[in-house]
Amino acid sequence: MAKAFKFEKTGQSIGILYFDLEGEKINKLSTEVMMELSGHIDQLKNQTDLKCLLLMSKKEGIFIAGADISEIKDINDEQSGYETAHNGQLIFDQFANLPFPTVAVIDGACMGGGTELSLACTYRLATDSPKTKIALPEVNLGILPGLGGTVRLPKLIGLQRSFDIILTGRNLNAKKAWKVGLVDKVIAAEWALEKAVEFTGEVIDGKTKKYIKRRKPKGLVSLLLEKNILGRRILFSQAKKIVLKKSKGHYPAPIKALETIKKTYKMSVKKGLEIEARALGELVCTQISKNLIQLFLWTQEIKKENGTSNESISGKDINKAGVLGAGVMGGGIAQLFASKEIQVRVKDINYDAVAKAYQQAAQVLKSQLKRRRISKYEYKQIMLRISGGVDYSGFKNTDLVVEAIVEDLNIKKKILTELENYVGENTVIATNTSSLLVDDMAEAIKKKDRFVGMHFFNPVHRMPLVEIVRGKRSSDEAVATVFNLSKKMGKTPIVVNDGPGFLVNRLLLPYMVEAISLLEEGHSVAEIDKAMLKFGMPMGPIELFDEVGVDVAFKVAKILQETMADRMAESDLLQKMVDADRLGKKNGRGFYRYKGRKKEDDPSIKEFITLKERSYLSGTELAKRMVYPMINEAARCLEEGIALRPRDVDVGMIFGTGFAPFRGGLLKYAESEGLDNIVNQLDVFEKEFGQRFKPSAALLKIQESAKGFYESEK
């Protein structure tokens, strides 16, 4: 059994309990670790000479990453969930009741159970390291903080501040954690031990009232809302409205967390913990929780991968990059690189175009500055890393160049041929194309093994997915380089093989085209979008046309029509929209009208729609009409090797399109629906609406195996 804790003394009366889990890069709270902690607590109870105990980590950049998620994943009944939480609570409660003050010294990531253990301490210090992040992210896993978080945090810092932490799962840096009272003092990371020992002097001398006093909110608002029963009712009512508006009722965890806080806020900790443990037991065995936990585990898997089957390849370190094309995508990519301390050189055909890259980067950064995610100094430093021009000066020493010019094969090939004369022998060249074949573009390059697709999604700073597109000649070195770079930039990459639309756009096209067909069958814009919002998508397919640009969608559809015509209904609606300059959100009118950020219905859209045979479908049937063709296409993508595994389909759809995470992804959803039911429904749709719904041979093969997508993979 690997050891996790080590006790040391410094001076005569100060103890340090170090957390340093052997053989692991992170500290996590497994059953074994919790039992070892319990043993240390039993010994510490008898340390009569101790006046204060520090809880610290010896892992760089990690305090405690939280509970061992793989153990939570395997809990399948409420009683087991309750007992797991209850047993952990008992250990933390014993720690909270040690006969001397305790101080959590948080240096690095402090997540979930780690935060709850810190709440069981008398005081909390956090270092000013940029790696120090504190959170209770359990709601993102479909559960709630079950080791005292919903009970102790509101009692410590008040209701409103606790809601913002528990109901959102968001990270707080040290400064924000101090501001809300979650930590008592911010200390220098370089002198963490010395400053922590110094703080124990204040503890021992009884000079900590000032820290305790500032934790809870004060003033008239606090008096009116938090310190009387009517005010608290208003707080809980408003919090519930906000949660339901954001989650659309699809996620039970934040509502259950809110109910738990409401029940336990005025209770003793002991009684409150019992209710919290029962609530965790209810949530942890739900399918929604299982889906969200599986998604988390997939992202953890991807973090350990390099995008190739050769684990020994690390790829190139990228310190200097070039971007061809200074449009919205090019500017977004440049900003992303610069934010990760990569020097970026942007090229376009004229200086007005280059200026747009600066404007795009500045717009994103100013938004972050306004929300205090970066400082003015950081803003300036990031912008200084971006330079631009109309020639290839500065490209010779780049480690990577990303091409993000107009979506035209001939123009791209011409520019790529030209580019190769101005970069180094080992520079990796990537294309940000969304629909053109990587192999077609590779014809323009002499050194084809260095060429790979790196498909970002718009807006670059917000969309978490990057599709790494592997051409026939792309080397493992090139793939690993862009894969690891994507992770460094905080993105989730998936590797797909080259093919029309790659993976995400190819799957999205039948969904989008079907929405057009439904418009032409008499269903309204609002009706179609509402059906998919209810299904769990972040926006409806019609609004999505406006978001990506009607002209962009039309161009992609035309390109993919060459290979997918049998799966697409014919329509001239997008052509009419483009001809009428209804391009979507970017010019204020598409399927909707836009006034600033406000979206309005536009009755005049009916003038562009040619009504075909009328259909009368319920919201559920509308969703199936749009989603089932994506499942059919996903089966083809797996059979053709476009997607390497079912996991990549589900990760790609969730992070690339916002496909309802609580459903687990497109293929997890398919398995929950039952492949027999899906095939039968596609047969019905084929008879009613045409050949494009015909179940693919790939889907029928998986159905006949009776294994499902994930079992068939094994």
* E strand map for 530-597: 592-595
Burial class (CB in 10 A: 0-12, 13-18, 19+), 459: middle
Burial letters 700-712, b for 16+ CB under 10 A, else e? bebbeeeebbeee
Supply 406's token pair. Answer: 């107009």
Q: Enumerate residues 6+ apart whose C-beta is below 8 A from 497.
A: 469, 470, 640, 641, 642, 644
Largest CA distance in the chain: 87
Q: Name residue, tokens 């608290």.
A: 232
Which one is catalytic: 86, 455, 461, 523?
455
Dump strand ranges (E) for 238-383: 320-324, 343-347
State the Cα–Cα distance between residues 343 and 364, nearest whole angstrom. 17
User: Using the 8-state DSSP alphabet, how is residue 169 labeled?
Assistant: -
**Cβ-based neighbour number of residue 397 at 10 Å:** 13
Cβ-contact 162, 153 below 8 angstroms: yes
523 an active-site residue? no
Q: Which helix (H) or strand (E) holds 598?
A: strand 598-601
Contact 184, 106 (CB under 8 A): no
Q: Report how far residue 479's alpha carbon sits from residue 222's, in angstroms, rounded to the nearest whole number.
A: 54
386: three-class secondary structure by DSSP: strand
* Conformational region of residue 123, where left means phi above 0, alpha means psi within -120 to 50, and beta covers everything else: beta
186/239 Cα distance (integer angstroms): 29
End-to-end CA distance of the chain: 31
- DSSP assignment letter at 696: P
Q: What is the DSSP letter of 643?
A: B
How many other CB atoms sit within 10 Å of the CB of residue 687?
9
Query: Cβ of 673: how many Cβ atoms within 10 Å?
Result: 16
Which among 624, 598, 620 is positioned nearest to 679, based on CA atoms? 624
C-alpha 200, offset from chain centre:
38
Just list the catalytic residues.
Answer: 455
